[in-house]
A and B are shown apart, each in its own frame.
Chain A
Amino acid sequence: MYKNKKTHLLMKHTFLFLLLALALPGLAQEYKQRITADQLIKIQYHKAELRIEAHKGNELIIQARDYEAPPERAKGLRPLYNTAVDNTNTGMSVESKDGQVLIREAMANPGQYLIRVPENARLSIEQMNWGGNNIEVIGMRNELEVKSKTAEVRLMDVSGPVIVNSTSGDITIRFSELSQKGPSMISSVASEIDISLPASAKAELHLSSVVGEIYTDLDLKVQNKDGKEASLTYLGGGQSTIKASLNGGGSTLTVRSTSSNIYLRKR
């Protein structure tokens, strides 16, 4: 009896959900495309708010949270502000060229996007102008490049290599492991950099902040800090690079900031 009631409730909910889905077309537009292994996925954006999640499959999936189709009276016309063509019905343009998949905005006011990519794809994200929205990436397992100007960058549970630069958007990176496939480098001008590494990560760390401080709870073996370098830095107004090895050394992780602090922590 109870079971039947539950089934009934479930059916009712499903029905409601279906009704909702029918009533609100365009609420979550979706586009899918197959990606070959190790392919470079390049995202260039201006205004969209991006969340990028890795998944085990081999498809690129773009989900627009609040996509609005062009007005009916624009039918047969082309937009002038956006030269990229919306060929996905999500407000994004996807082009495959020279072994790369290039994703660009194709509408004047893009909203929130969830882009799901194969975890082993190479990913490059670039904020094209000042004043764009933030970037969040979760779970990637290959080379990851992020070029930010003002966008806050959050990379969660990534393995690297990670190559990130920002002018004034804070950078937070949580490494699930530190890939030994190549060097990682994170740099910023006026944004805080906060990095968490597994306590067992093997790395050669090159750390510098011109006017900020570097805080850590990692067991670092500092290799050098010669007095000569220190006296030279007086002229440049900067502090020298601290080189240290972690767990006997491994791939190079360079972190540099001009005017902010760097936080390096065990996770």
Chain B
Amino acid sequence: MRNWDNVRELLERYYEGETTVAEEQQLRQLLQEPALPPDLQAEARLLHWPLAERQIQSPLSAEALMAPLALPAAEPKVRLLWGWAWQVAAAVSLLVVGFALGRGGAGAVPAEEQPTATELTALRQELSELKGLLQAGATTGQRLQAVTVAATTPQADAELLMALIHTLHFDENVNVRLAAVEALMNYQQHPQVRRALIHSLGIQTDPNVQLALIHGLTRLGEKEAVPQLQKMLQDEELQQVVRQQVNESISLLI
């Protein structure tokens, strides 16, 4: 019989951002066990960890989750990369988008402006250099740039949104997380974006990011944020300015 209290404690530490990559991996596996108690099932669902969702048969399948994104030819992918590897992948995908944007949309370029073979080689090299740079860890500036570009990408795909959501939850810089809130507000029509904004209220501890989330969700009129907002009020360490805004937003939303 497994001691689920240990798992709960691990989960608690995960929300505090104190877990290591190995522990997150372990937690992910633990939350997929069939004998999961109901409260942990709920947590697993909250975390949107795809495999766990499949096991507990969440009413929303991964396909249903991705469907509103209406991606041409993009098969819904369930990403299981974790820790920094996931961050690197996310950052690479953001940069690739930025890169593509920088090229100004290949479809719209007249024939004579199509890149030549030499240019293409140079571009590929640039891209691989970027990847190399990212493997060594992107700087805060590079991550901020990537989020800024992602905010205005006309056709954001599921992976891009997931990368932005991951950045919102876990990037170590407040400004990068703030930029991610703003970027995600541009994709408010996607249900998983709204869910992520609500869920992040339970993760963020910096007043600046908390306020940005609360303002954003209030602007969206997102009534489903109310229970999470009420939960925030129970946190004794919540800054006064945030507490005030939470109260105001609850009264506006209900």
Contacts and interface: CB of A to CB of B under 8 A. Distances in A.
A147 B221 contact: no
B141 interface: yes
Given A210-B215, A237-B248, A145 B207 contact: no
A259 B241 contact: yes
Contacts of B218: 235-237
Contact of B141 (A161, A164, A189, A237): A161
B215 A238 contact: yes
A165 interface: yes
A7 to B, nearest CB: 53
Contacts of A258: 208, 211, 241
Interface residues of B, number: 30
A40 B137 CA distance: 11
A167 interface: yes
Contacts of A164: 175
B145 A190 contact: no
| Secondary structure class of chain A's binding surface, majority of residues | mixed
Contacts of B144: 161, 163, 182-183, 185
A165 to B, nearest CB: 4
A167 B140 contact: no
Contact of A188 (B140, B145, B208, B252): B208
A104 interface: no
Contacts of B173: 145, 147, 163, 165
B193 interface: no
Contacts of A186: 175
Interface string B124-148: 0000000000001101111011001
A159 interface: no
Given A124-B140, A145-B140, A189 B211 contact: yes
24 contacts: A98-B137, A99-B136, A143-B140, A161-B141, A163-B141, A163-B144, A165-B173, A165-B174, A165-B208, A167-B206, A182-B142, A185-B175, A185-B178, A186-B175, A187-B174, A188-B208, A189-B241, A235-B221, A236-B215, A236-B218, A237-B218, A238-B219, A256-B178, A258-B241
